[in-house]
Structure 1
Amino acid sequence: MNISYYLDTLDRFLIYLLVALALFAIATYIFKLITPYSERKLIKSGNIAVTLKLLGKMAGVVVVLQSAIRHSINLLDLIIWAFIAIVIQIVLHLVIEYGLTRKTNVTKEVENGNTAVGLLLGGVSVLVGLIVAATISY
């Protein structure tokens, strides 16, 4: 084991980690902006449906970020791929949530605590994240 290699690359690890965490926070904040209700307030009151939906969105973003990290050739490449993937993740989330479920007001269902709908939307976010993550490659 060559410990000097790890010490020499520790700075790059920390930079990638901080950038990935910042991108995660940005993506989560954007999702918060497009959500018509206060997730924090509903989670605090015990709404499991909102919790499942938010966790799914966050997990979908993490899957996308880990793929961008794995496939990037440098820090700028990571940031570009991450932003592209996050935008696609958000657009696909909106299409699925509002386009494919027109006959059901899924936003109201989740806000009212419908756990099945929250789990479905959270799960779809993870699945979409897996698909988007798989497309990031060279």
Structure 2
Amino acid sequence: MDFSYYLQTLDHFLIYLAVSLVLFIMGTYIFKWITPYSERDQIRSGNSAVALKLLGKMAGLVVVLQSAVLHAINLVDLVIWAFIAIIVQIVLHIVIEYVFTRNTNLAKEVENGNVAVGLFLGGVSVLVGLIVAANISF
């Protein structure tokens, strides 16, 4: 087995890994920034609903980043698709939370510990991530 190929491509792996991790952190921060309550404080106090919702957002983001890495032709392409995916996920989250459930404040329900709502919103984030990831395959 010739390890020289792996050594020659190690720099690409490390660069894409670093960029992907930065995009993941940025995306997670953006999701946390648009949340009307402190997810960190809620999770520290044992709010499982908030933890499930945040985990779903993060998983949806990872699915999209995975697809972007697999299909990107270069780092710029990766970054562009990652930002498009983050924006789409935010917009769809807002549409679901505020349009389809006008009579229920889902953010307040999650903040109050409604695990069913947290799981639903986290699951929707994963599903949206899967749809967006599939479309990145152009």
TM-score, normalising length: structure 1: 0.97
Which region of structure 1 is more displaced relative to structure 2, 110-119 or 100-109? Answer: 100-109
CA distance in 1 between counterparts of 2:64 and 2:112 reads: 29
CA distance in 2 between counterparts of 1:47 and 1:85 reads: 27
Stretches of structure 1 that go unaligned for 5 or more consecutive residues are none
CA distance in 1 between counterparts of 2:101 and 2:122 reads: 14
What residue is the counterpart of 2:108 in the other structure?
108
Shift of 1:2: 2.1
The residue identity in structure 2 corresponding to 1:39 is E
What residue is the counterpart of 1:30 in the other structure?
30
What residue is the counterpart of 1:65 in the other structure?
65
Shift of 1:94: 1.3
Match of 1:103, SS state, is: coil
Q: What are the residue-to-residue correspondences of 1:37-116 with 2, within 5 Å? A: 37-116=37-116
Which region of structure 1 is more displaced relative to structure 2, 95-104 or 56-65? Answer: 95-104
CA distance in 2 between counterparts of 1:104 and 1:2 reads: 60
CA distance in 1 between counterparts of 2:92 and 2:80 reads: 18
CA distance in 1 between counterparts of 2:80 and 2:133 reads: 14
Q: How many pairs align?
A: 138
Match of 1:108, SS state, is: helix
CA distance in 1 between counterparts of 2:63 and 2:75 reads: 18
Which consecutive segments of 4 or more residues in structure 1 shift more than 3 A?
none
CA distance in 1 between counterparts of 2:99 and 2:20 reads: 30
